[in-house]
Structures are given as structure tokens and as C-alpha cells.
Chains A and B, each alone.
Chain A
Amino acid sequence: MTATSPRKVILESVRSEQFHLWRSRKDLAVKWLIAVGGVGVILAVVMIFFYLLWVVFPLFMPASSEMKEGPLMPSWRDNAPIYLAVEEQLEVGLRVANDGTAGFFHVEDGELVGKSKLPGSDNARLLHAREAVEDPRQVAYSTTRGLIYGFHHDYEIRFDGGVETRRILPSLSFPYGQEPLLVMPSAEISALAISEGDNEIVLAAASPQGLVRVNFASKSKNFLTGDHTLDPSVTEKQLPFQVRGLAISSSHRWMFLGDDQGRIHSYTLPDLEHAETIETGGSPVTYLTMLMGGISVVSGHADGGIRQMFPVRSTLNDFHLQSTRSFDPMPSAVELIVPEERRKGFVVLDRENNLAIFHSTAGRQVMEKPLEKLGPRYIALSPRANGVLIEAAGGRLAMLDVDNDHPELSFASLWQKVWYENYEEPEYVWQSSAATNEFEPKFSLTPLVFGTIKAAFYAMLFAIPLALMGAAYTAYFMSPQLRQWVKPGIEIMAALPTVILGFLAGLWFAPWVEENLASLLLMALFIPPGLMLFAWIWSRLDLSTRLLIPEGWEPLLLVPALVGLCALALGAAEPLQMAVLGGDLREWLSNDLGISYDQRNALVVGCAMGFAVIPTIFSIAEDAIYGVPESLSNGSLALGATPWQTLVFVVVPTASPGVFSALMIGLGRAVGETMIVLMATGNTPVMDWNLFEGMRTLAANIAVEMPESEVNSTHYRILFLAALVLFMFTFLVNTGAELIRQRLREKYSSL
């Protein structure tokens, strides 16, 4: 071969230069790619935390509102409103004036879309109007002649094609006819109430002098026309006080009256017997209404005070009216209380034109809005409670858009005892849903956190002794050949799916424990002393026998002894129970000690979850103890300490941070474990340390309820809050453990 031509050399060097350039470019590109990818992945992981926070955040946002000025309604100037309502879409409103005109109008532009004259208004003016809490579209009104009528307003939504053609058609109807439903003897009426039921309606009115008339009318429906015919039954009673407010419970068992002394009286229905009177502080009642569900009464007082009360069962069939809450007072006398239609909240307007929104379960004022500039004559709350329609002075309309999605939450309703409706006393309750809409959601996280701690506590109680003692032995005494097998053998159990442990715990272990509770307890009692005894006997044997099992192989020797002891406990349980307790231990517990026993209880969970946690604790603690430099223990042994003394006083203290971090990580795992608790407990959120009762943990609660919860509802966000709590807890615990371990590692490397 001849020498390469200069031209070729140049070409090649150019080519190689290009090649080098390409290589370095590729290197750079990859460097960026990996950096972007790596940072991206890490950010994605961090996002989990921020996403949870983002979902939870609205729970803690205060309610807000925005005032929208509406059109001026000239025709409204000459009369006063006795009733105002707005339908669900906030588009159409209804106003009933004291001259008897009922007019529907568009909220946006004030256009009137229907007007009619109400019955009874020909030669009288209208006085009061009240909604039925069971069906707020059913209204009763009274006239200055002492007559009481009813009407119903409906809104039909019609589509003539696509979504944008939606129209709302309001209409007025008289399901109970156009005749008076109740006639008062005198013209003056100071309070009025109506309540709808499936089989009857109840109307009540009172004069200021204390005459009360009640029409307890059973209704029958004509199936052809859909009309109702009423069978009225009117009773009346003269009461010894001035009636200022009236309300009827949805059960139609009670009528509540507020008087000018600030007292609330309860009377039975339909026979109007006095049941009870409670004092609230002397300030006259100015308004009284039921809350959604018709169980609680809310009273407003002349001094601005607001109180909630409901009948509480004291004995089997005996109720007493219990004042359960008083809310932050309004600055002046309460003029109007409007209950929300779908939640246990209500809106209050006072004499100085302050508007405030409250929630009863949370026991707090959610929002406050002074309206003195507007001088509201009447307000209406929309069915979704997302808007308050205001008729301002001079006939001007205004709409207050309310953003109040999660009023039922407060620190108290999440973590403290709350007195819920129908409960005998304040309690911690988690009950997120029920069959009816009138249900009061109970979102106390306390029983769930308690359940989580209880499950973790019993699991750790089972796991810590076994795992730590096992780790100490494996790391310090066990022969290397055996350790080579035992350590991975126990570690591999960490990979066992928890669903299998849960299934065995729930379907095999729980029934077994129920049958053999005494045996299980005897095992715990027999095994430690039994094995010690065995060891002592072994130490008395002659050397040649003892040499059969070399040092560091003791656990193998102990296995048969263990099996024997278990068999002994199983066999001894029945006769022992017979002899000592005269029967079954479980029955003795429940009959003689009054301890209730669930089949799936904390004992079962403790064992199963303890089993799941053992490998985690064992593995990390063993690593920590094994890593203690040999020079330390050698020094100790050389100074004459026994191996046990060396372990306890030299090795374990040195390794203690590692052991501690093992416990923390184990705890983290026990707190977050889902499947085992889901399957091995009854998932009832009870708060009791009883070993033989179940619990409900945060994680299991999420697994049970998350799929059914409505997106972005309070319930959904609270479940996210529970997840966030779990995330933060385990993350912090694990980080703490990791930092401790790192410090330990540094310490070892310096030794």
C-alpha cells in the first residue's frame, strides 16, 4: 500500500473534526435531555404533594361574596314586599307584594314575566308569608283580615334544541285550593308557620295576645288530576304569653313558639299540650324558623342573639328541648332568618341591615356582609345557597353572589365533639352520608385518627419486641451461615402483598381467635417462660449433647420447643377455662366484665399488621446493629463483659439511632397500611381502646368512601385532607428516620 495522499489526510481530519463536533454536540444534547428528564420526574413526584394541597385548599378558604347591582323596578316603589324568592339558576325571581300582586321577573334585566293577583287580596292587604322548610316552594301567607292562604311556585326548564335555548317558565299554582286554609278570629297575626308532610300539612298562626290556631289537615291526592283534597282539623289554644315566632317540626310532633321574654316553648302536635319551656336570656324572640330537615329550631332575638335548639331523646320515648348552640350575635335585632334549602346553614338579616351566613354543624358565622347602603326591604336565598336576591330601598334589585362551598367545616367540626341533631350529647362522629337529603353530615376526623393510632399502637406492640429482639440476635449472636438464610427469609416477607395478610386475618385468623381466644392469650403467657425453662434445662445437659447445636444456631433448636408450647397452650385452654372461669373466656368477658367482643378486632389487626411491619423494623434495625464496628464489642469483651452485657451496654446504644429510625419507619408503614385494616376490622369508627373492638382508620376510610364521593364536594376534599395528613405524617417520619440513619452512618465511618 502506498502512503495516503495528503488530500485524503485532510479529508479525514475534516471528517474526524466533524465527527468530534457531532460527538460533543450529542454529549451536550444528552446532558440537557437527562437534566430535563430528571428534574421533570422529580418535579412530577413533588407535584403529588402540591396537588393534594390544591384540592384541600378550598376547605380553608373563607366564604366570599360579590355584590351585583340589578335593575330598578319602578312598579315596586308603591308597595312593600312580603315575600321574595329566586329559582335555582338565579335567573327568575318571584315577588309577592302586600297589595296581593305576585309577579315573576327576570333577575338580570327586571323584565316582568307573569303577574297575578293572589286570592284574599281583594279587600285586604297581605301581612306575612312563610315557606315550608320541607318544600320551600310551598308558601303560606296571611291577610289583614286574619285569613291564611297558600300557593306554590314552580319553574319548568324547557329546551327547544341545544343547551343555549334553555328557557325557564315560572308558574303559580294552588295545590290546596284558593280558599283560606286557616281562619283567625282576629285580624292581627304575629306569627305564621307551615309544614308539608307526605300525608298532611300543618298550618299554624298566632295572634300577639297568645291565641294559637293550628290546622292539622290530612291530605289525599286525586290520582287523576294530581290535586290534593284536604281534610282540615283545627284546634286552638290560648297561651299565657305573647307569641313572636312560630315553627313546626317536620315530624309534626312539635310546635315551637318564641315569646317576648325570650323563652322558647314547645307544644305537642296535634293536641297542643305544653311540653317544655326553655329560657334563652330574656331578650325577646324576633324570628323563629326550622332548619333544613325540620329538626332544629333557630331563634333570633332582639339583642341580635341567635340560638339553635332541638329535641333530644332523654329516655326511650321522652324528649326534651335542648338549647345546643348560640352563634356569634348580630349587631342589632334579628329581622329575618332564611334557612338554606340543602344544607344546615342559614342567612340572617338584622335591623341595621347587616347580612350574615351561619352554619349550624360548624357552629360558626361563615360570612358577614353589611348592606346598610342598600337598605334591603326583603331578601331571598337561592336553592343552592349561592346567591342572595335583595330588594333594596326604592325598588332596586341586587344580587349577592355567594361563594360558600364548604361552610360545614370548622376546627370544631373536624376535631372536637359536636352536638349533632338527634344525638343525646356532643360526640365525635364520622358519618359522611346517609339515605336522605336532610341528613346532617358528620365529618369528625377524630375517630379516624384515633382508629389509625389504635391500630398502629397494637401492631407496634406486637411487632417491636419480636422484631427488635430478633434483630439483635440475628446481628450479634447468630452464626453467619444461618444469618445468610434467616435475614432474607424475613425480609422477603415485606414483599408479601398485604391483601393476602388482610384476607388471612379477616377470614382465617379472626374466626380462629374468636374460637381460641384463651389459647392465644395462653400462648403469649406460656411461650417466654416456657422457652426460658427449656433453655435452662438445655444448659444443664452435658456438653456433648449441647455441642450438637453449635453456638448461634439456637433458634433452630427452639422451633420444636415453640411448636410444643403452642400445642400445650391449645390443649390447656379448654380445661383451664372450665376450671377458672367456668365457661368460655369470650363469654366471660362479655357477660361478667361487660367487654364487648367483635370478631374482627384490634387484636386481629394488631397481629396481622404487626406481622406486616416486623420485616421492615427487623431489616433496618439488624443493619444498624450489624454495622456497629467490631472493635467496639471486642474492646468490651476484652474488658470482661459478657456477650449479653456487650450487646446491651455497648452495641445497642451505639446503634440506637438506627434502631429508632427502624421503629419510625415501621410506624409509618403501620399508619398508612390500608388493606389489612380494611379486611380485618369491622371499619366502624368507634373510639375505644378495647382490644376486642374494631376501628376505622384514615387509610381504610379513604379506600371505602373515595370511589363514591362526589368530585369537589366537601366530603371529597376531606378525604383528600385525610390523604394529605397521611402523606405528611409518613413523609416527615421517614425523613426524620433517614436523617438519623445518615448521621449514624457518618458516626460509624469515623470509628
Chain B
Amino acid sequence: MKSFREWISSGLPWVWLNASAVSVCILLVLGLLGLIAMRGMGHFWPAPVYEISYAHQGGDSQTLVGQVRTREEVLASRLTESGLEVEPGVEFVERILLKTGNRDQTGDDFRWILEPGIKQKSRPEDMAVLERTEWGVFFGRISGLKIEGERYQGEGLWEEFTRILARTDELREQISDLEGGDVGRINYDLEDLRLSERKLEFRNVTDPAAYREIEDERDALKAEYAVLEKSLISLNEAIRRDSVFMTTGDGVEVEISMSTIIDAWQPNKMTLPQQLGHYLRKGWSFIVDEPREANTEGGIFPALYGTILMVLLMTVVVTPFGVIAGVYLREYARQGVLTRTIRIAVNNLAGVPSIVYGVFGLGFFVYTLGGSIDKLFFEAALPSPTYGTGGLFWASLTLALLTLPVVIVSTEEGLSRIPRSVREGSLALGATQWETLWRTVLPMASPGIMTGLILAVARAAGEVAPLMLVGVVKLAPSLPLDGNYPFLHPERKFMHLGFHIYDVGFQSPNVEAARPLVYATALLLVVVILLLNLVAIHVRNGLRKKYKGLET
């Protein structure tokens, strides 16, 4: 047993202090990941819907229906300051953020209520949640159905309702297939024709045959469109045929057209497996659905798609250039002061702020290169720019430039790990330098190169600042890869997961409603990037083990 003084002089407290720094770091990391995971995963769970009879301060009482979003303890004094009455002697009051939905009825989605005001709270089994294409969710009880103009009431309404819902679902899918497929293709072709006509005008072609050809094609397309339009109209009529009557907590009956209902469930009735199923289904549709209502609802499919496509395109660009530069620096360049300087410079480019690359991308790629390309090849479309504005291609190039140092450095590192003896052996057997490189060195270094690429991809996937300048948008009208020739449209604007987080979290009109979605998006992005990094670490470790024997 040491005295306190001795303990201090032994230096041990400082060691503990340093240890506590590590603990703080660990705790921060775990806490952050835990926070994102918790908030991101919780969103899809079918939370119970409460029916609360709530007494307002001042005497009025009201029936509120909704899901509990958050609870917090508030100092009683703070409430009294804002003019609310609190029972004397109470120090804290619990405040609940209730998601009440029904924005079309009440004007807002959320409201704060105070715990003491709750007179009665129940979870009625017949309370339903409707997910709608507009106005957010609806909470209420089903009170009737209108099928082909006739009203039905009584038993078995919910079962009938789900049956009709399945029908409208099918119709909706048909409509979106038509709109996204054939109609989209026709519009695309029509725009193409318009541009080729303008091109002819620019070239001062006067031959009427050329114009007639275009006119014929246009007529054919228009005829095709007329047919489609008819079927679209009939589909739209069919989907609007039925509607459902819902009663809100206040007892008001509302008629909701079936065409606006996407999904419906009764969370209070669900058993655990049902809840799990619902959870997985919602999680999946989050990934594969289009966003709705200014990105505050629905899925994130276009953002995910845009991110992946952009990263792939970037990889295609950065791989050959990065590897060639790395091979040149390590295998071909004379190792002198100059090469060393270049190596340091390249290494340090990785530390240059990403926004600088964005500025460069905007100025050089978009305005300078893109502007020239437009003038040379896309004159017909001017003044609306084709390549002279941010787009997928420029974004990929910018990020390729940004990640180039990572690939070069890791290629070099991979090459430098190959022992000299391997090269000398190959050369001694009469192989040329290229053959040595291609047959022996590069295959051995490939895991190192792979590591670099994976790290580059991970960095690119999470980078947002430069993209904001070179082509990312909050809502892209069409995907950059679709069924219209030439399929890949590198000039199109695209959506991106990281930007989606920024945009929905900070620029959206209804941040509170969108918040869970942002957490879910963040979770997805974190998972993707952590996985990529873990793979990279794994590959690197495996590689180190593999060549350990050779090195000694």
C-alpha cells in the first residue's frame, strides 16, 4: 500500500490519465456508431399508435392520436416562463413529442404535449396507419369503403380494404411502368429528334427529305404516344375508383382516395413476427423506393444508385492512371531527388481539402472542358448546357483526381513490398522488364493495389463537398443509367447518399419529419464505408502475412 504522495510521484496517475484519453476516444467512437445505428434502425419499426385524451392548459380537452417520437424532462421553471402552468412542488415535467400525422387536417405533423395533461392513454387495436403519397401519414380508424361509388360499412372492412389496396398497388405499378418505361422512352426520342432537326438547321441543310424523315419519325412516336396515353388515362381512372373513409381521433370522417394510399397497417394489432416482417419490408422498401414529398419520405434508391454508379465510373478512371503512375514512380523512374519530391508531393495531395478539388472540377472540367465540348458537339442543344454543367461524368473525374494520390501511394507501397530477389530471379531467367512486371511483380502486388482502390472507393463514397459543385442534385428527374440509348448518360445530374443527408437534414422544409430518414441514410452510408474499410484492412493484413516470409 502506497501513500497518495508516493502514488503521485510514481507517475502512475499520468499513465492513467493517458489511458483515460484512450477510453474517451473509444467511448466516442462507440457512442457515435451506436447513436447512428439506434436512430437509423428504429425508424422502420411499427411503433404503437396511442389514443390519448389530453387536457389542454386552460381546460379544453381533446383526443389525440399518434406515435410517441421522443420524451424529455423539462425544468418546471422553464415551462412557467413560457406561460404554462405547472403544479407547485413539481420540479420536472415530462414532455412528449407526439407524431400526430394528418397534416392535411391539422396543418402539422408533430406536437408537444405535457405528461400531466394526459388523462387517458390507450392502444386501440383498430387504429390504423396509412402511408400516403402526399400529406404524410394518416392515423385513424377505418369507418367505411367506397367501391365503385357505393359505400360499404360494417364487419370485415379492414380485410376488404387490404384487398383493394393490393389492387391499387398493382395499378400503380402498371402506371409507373408505363410512365417510366414507354412514355419516358418516347419523350427521350422526341427530344432526340428535336435536337437532330436543329442540327440540320445549323448545318444549313435545305434538303426537305431529311426534315421529312424526322417529321415521319415524330408522327410515328406521337401515334404511339396517343395509344399509351389512352391506356394511361384508363389506368388512372381505375386507380381513382375507390376510396376509404377514415375517422380521426377527433371523430371527423375523412374520405381518402385509394390512389393516394401506398401502404396501411394496424400496428397495435401486430404480433412480434408480424412486426418483424413489417420492419424488414419497410427497411427494404427504403432501399429500393423512390423518395417522395421533397425527399422527406419514401426511399433513397436514386441516391444509392447515383452513389454506386459515380463510384464505379470513378474506379474505372482512377485504376489505370493511378496504377500506371505508381508503377512508373517505383519501377521506371530514376530514383533521385526529383522522384522523391514528386512522391512527397503526390502523397500530400491526399491532404488537400476536397473542396479545392471541387473548385478545380467546376472551373476546369465543367466550365472550361464542358463548355468547349458543348460548343463543338452539342451546339443544337444550346443555350441549355449538356456537358457545360455539373454531371455524373465530371463528378466522377473530380473524385478520380481526388483519390488518385491514394491509389498511387498504395500501388507504390504494394510494389515496394515485393522483395528484390523475386525481380532478380525473373530477370535472371531472361524475362524482360515488362515481362517481369506483368507476370511476377504486378500479380504479387495486386492485393496492395486492391487495398488502395478499396480505400479510394470508400473515400469517394463519403465525399460530399466537391460533389456539391460538380453535379449532385437534391432530386434528379431521371437516372443516369437507364433503358434509353446510349443507356449510360454521363452528362446527367445525379443524386448521392451523402448529399441526400445534407440536403434532407438541412434544406428540407420539414426537417422534423425527415430526421429518421436521414439517420437511416446515414446508417446505410456508414455501413457501406465501414465494410469497405474493413475489407481493405483484411486484404492488407493478409498481404502482410503472405510476404512476411519473403522479406527476411
Q: Which residues of A contact B (CB under 8 A)?
A: 23-24, 26-27, 30-31, 34-35, 37-39, 41-42, 44-48, 51-52, 55, 465-470, 472-474, 477-478, 486, 488-490, 492-493, 495-500, 502-504, 506-508, 527-528, 531-532, 535-536, 539-540, 554-556, 558-559, 562-563, 574, 583-584, 611, 614, 618, 642-645, 648, 665, 668-669, 671-675, 678-679, 699, 702-703, 706-707, 711, 719-720, 723, 726-727, 730-731, 733-735, 738-739, 742
B452 shortest CB reach to chain A, Å: 13
User: In the assembly, what is the distance between CA of A723 and CA of B358, in Å?
Assistant: 9
B472 shortest CB reach to chain A, Å: 10
Find chain B residues with CB under 8 A from A52 CB. 356, 359-360, 363
Contact status A531-B464, CB under 8 Å = no
Find chain B residues with CB under 8 A from A702 CB. 355, 358-359, 469
Q: Which residues of B contact A (CB under 8 A)?
A: 1-2, 4, 7, 10-29, 32, 35-36, 75, 77-78, 320-322, 324-325, 327-329, 331-333, 342, 344-349, 351-360, 362-364, 367, 401, 404-405, 408, 432-435, 455, 458-459, 461-465, 468-469, 498-499, 501-502, 505-506, 511, 515, 518, 522, 525-526, 529-530, 533-534, 537
Q: If A495-B459, A506-B506, A679-B506 touch, does A727 touch B356 (CB 8 Å cutoff)? A: yes
Q: If A504-B35, A618-B25 touch, does A42 touch B432 (CB 8 Å cutoff)? A: no
User: In the assembly, what is the distance between CA of A559 and CA of B14, in Å?
Assistant: 17
- Which residue of A is nearest B499, CB measured? A499
Contact status A730-B352, CB under 8 Å = yes
Contact status A499-B498, CB under 8 Å = yes
User: In the assembly, what is the distance between CA of A341 and CA of B324, in Å?
Assistant: 55
Contact status A563-B332, CB under 8 Å = no
Find chain A residues with CB under 8 A from B347 CB. 734, 738
User: In the assembly, what is the distance between CA of A495 and CA of B331, in Å?
Assistant: 30
**Quick one: which of A490, A500, A675, A742 contacts B465, CB cutoff 8 A?**
A675
B11 shortest CB reach to chain A, Å: 3
Q: If A488-B537, A536-B7 touch, does A734 touch B367 (CB 8 Å cutoff)? A: no
Contact status A51-B321, CB under 8 Å = no
Q: A531-B16, A671-B353 are in contact. List 16 more A-B contacts (CB 8 A).
A: A23-B432, A45-B346, A45-B404, A51-B360, A472-B18, A492-B534, A499-B498, A504-B522, A554-B15, A672-B351, A699-B355, A703-B465, A730-B348, A730-B353, A734-B352, A742-B344
**Quick one: which of B19, B459, B468 contacts A555, CB cutoff 8 A?**
B19
Find chain B residues with CB under 8 A from A41 CB. 321-322, 324-325, 404, 408
Contact status B345-A735, CB under 8 Å = yes
User: In the assembly, what is the distance between CA of A47 and CA of B511, in Å?
Assistant: 41
Contact status A614-B353, CB under 8 Å = no
A502 shortest CB reach to chain B, Å: 7
Most buried by A among B78, B356, B515: B356
**Quick one: which of A27, A465, A503, A527 contacts B518, CB cutoff 8 A?**
A503
User: In the assembly, what is the distance between CA of A614 and CA of B358, in Å?
Assistant: 25
A-B contact pairs, 23 of them (CB 8 A): A26-B432, A38-B332, A42-B346, A46-B345, A51-B364, A466-B21, A470-B18, A473-B19, A478-B22, A495-B455, A495-B459, A499-B464, A499-B498, A502-B502, A503-B502, A531-B20, A643-B11, A645-B11, A723-B355, A731-B349, A734-B347, A738-B347, A738-B348
Q: If A31-B332, A539-B7 touch, does A727 touch B352 (CB 8 Å cutoff)? A: yes
Find chain B residues with CB under 8 A from A503 CB. 501-502, 505-506, 518, 522
8 closest Cβ pairs, A-B complex: A38-B328, A672-B353, A644-B11, A497-B462, A469-B21, A473-B18, A674-B465, A535-B16
Contact status A466-B348, CB under 8 Å = no
**Quick one: which of B13, B28, B356 contacts A535, CB cutoff 8 A?**
B13
**Quick one: which of B12, B356, B434, B530 contacts A723, CB cutoff 8 A?**
B356
Contact status B511-A507, CB under 8 Å = yes
Find chain A residues with CB under 8 A from B320 CB. 37
B318 shortest CB reach to chain A, Å: 10
**Quick one: which of A38, A465, A508 contacts B327, CB cutoff 8 A?**
A38
Find chain B residues with CB under 8 A from A495 CB. 455, 458-459, 462, 529-530, 533
User: In the assembly, what is the distance between CA of A707 and CA of B27, in Å?
Assistant: 39
Contact status A499-B502, CB under 8 Å = yes
**Quick one: which of A24, A469, A499 contacts B18, CB cutoff 8 A?**
A469
Find chain A residues with CB under 8 A from B351 CB. 665, 668-669, 672, 730-731, 733-734
User: In the assembly, what is the distance between CA of A490 and CA of B511, in Å?
Assistant: 31
User: In the assembly, what is the distance between CA of A469 and CA of B18, in Å?
Assistant: 5
A538 shortest CB reach to chain B, Å: 8
Contact status A489-B29, CB under 8 Å = yes
- Which residue of A is nearest B364, CB measured? A51
Find chain A residues with CB under 8 A from B333 CB. 35, 38
Find chain B residues with CB under 8 A from A45 CB. 345-346, 349, 401, 404-405
Find chain B residues with CB under 8 A from A733 CB. 351
**Quick one: which of B359, B534, B537 contacts A720, CB cutoff 8 A?**
B359
Find chain B residues with CB under 8 A from A671 CB. 353
Find chain B residues with CB under 8 A from A555 CB. 19-20, 22-23, 26
A585 shortest CB reach to chain B, Å: 12
- Which residue of B is nearest A502, CB measured? B502
Find chain B residues with CB under 8 A from A618 CB. 25
Contact status B328-A37, CB under 8 Å = yes
Contact status B363-A720, CB under 8 Å = yes
**Quick one: which of A574, A644, A706 contacts B15, CB cutoff 8 A?**
A644
User: In the assembly, what is the distance between CA of A496 and CA of B458, in Å?
Assistant: 9
Find chain A residues with CB under 8 A from B342 CB. 42
User: In the assembly, what is the distance between CA of A48 and CA of B4, in Å?
Assistant: 60
Contact status B21-A703, CB under 8 Å = no
Contact status B469-A707, CB under 8 Å = yes
Contact status A726-B353, CB under 8 Å = yes
B304 shortest CB reach to chain A, Å: 14
User: In the assembly, what is the distance between CA of A472 and CA of B15, in Å?
Assistant: 9
Find chain A residues with CB under 8 A from B464 CB. 497-499, 675
Q: If A474-B22, A506-B506 touch, does A726 touch B355 (CB 8 Å cutoff)? A: yes
Find chain B residues with CB under 8 A from A473 CB. 15, 18-19, 21-22
- Which residue of A is nearest B405, CB measured? A45
User: In the assembly, what is the distance between CA of A568 and CA of B503, in Å?
Assistant: 37
Contact status A24-B432, CB under 8 Å = yes
Q: If A536-B13, A735-B345 touch, does A477 touch B19 (CB 8 Å cutoff)? A: yes
**Quick one: which of A48, A500, A539 contacts B522, CB cutoff 8 A?**
A500
Find chain A residues with CB under 8 A from B362 CB. 706-707
Find chain B residues with CB under 8 A from A558 CB. 16, 19-20, 23
B524 shortest CB reach to chain A, Å: 11
Find chain A residues with CB under 8 A from B469 CB. 702-703, 706-707
Contact status B353-A31, CB under 8 Å = no
Find chain A residues with CB under 8 A from B463 CB. 497
Q: If A496-B462, A507-B505 touch, does A562 touch B329 (CB 8 Å cutoff)? A: no
Find chain B residues with CB under 8 A from A39 CB. 328
Contact status B360-A48, CB under 8 Å = yes
A465 shortest CB reach to chain B, Å: 7
B158 shortest CB reach to chain A, Å: 37
Find chain B residues with CB under 8 A from A527 CB. 20, 24
Contact status A44-B401, CB under 8 Å = yes
User: In the assembly, what is the distance between CA of A23 and CA of B434, in Å?
Assistant: 9
**Quick one: which of A44, A493, A536, A644 contacts B14, CB cutoff 8 A?**
A644
- Which residue of B is nearest A645, CB measured? B11
Contact status A642-B10, CB under 8 Å = yes
Contact status A535-B12, CB under 8 Å = yes
Contact status A496-B529, CB under 8 Å = yes
Contact status A497-B15, CB under 8 Å = no
Most buried by B among A611, A669, A672: A672
Most buried by B among A45, A466, A734: A45
User: In the assembly, what is the distance between CA of A23 and CA of B502, in Å?
Assistant: 55
Contact status B4-A536, CB under 8 Å = yes
- Which residue of A is nearest B342, CB measured? A42
Most buried by B among A473, A498, A559, A673: A473
Find chain B residues with CB under 8 A from A540 CB. 1
**Quick one: which of A30, A51, A465 contacts B434, CB cutoff 8 A?**
A30
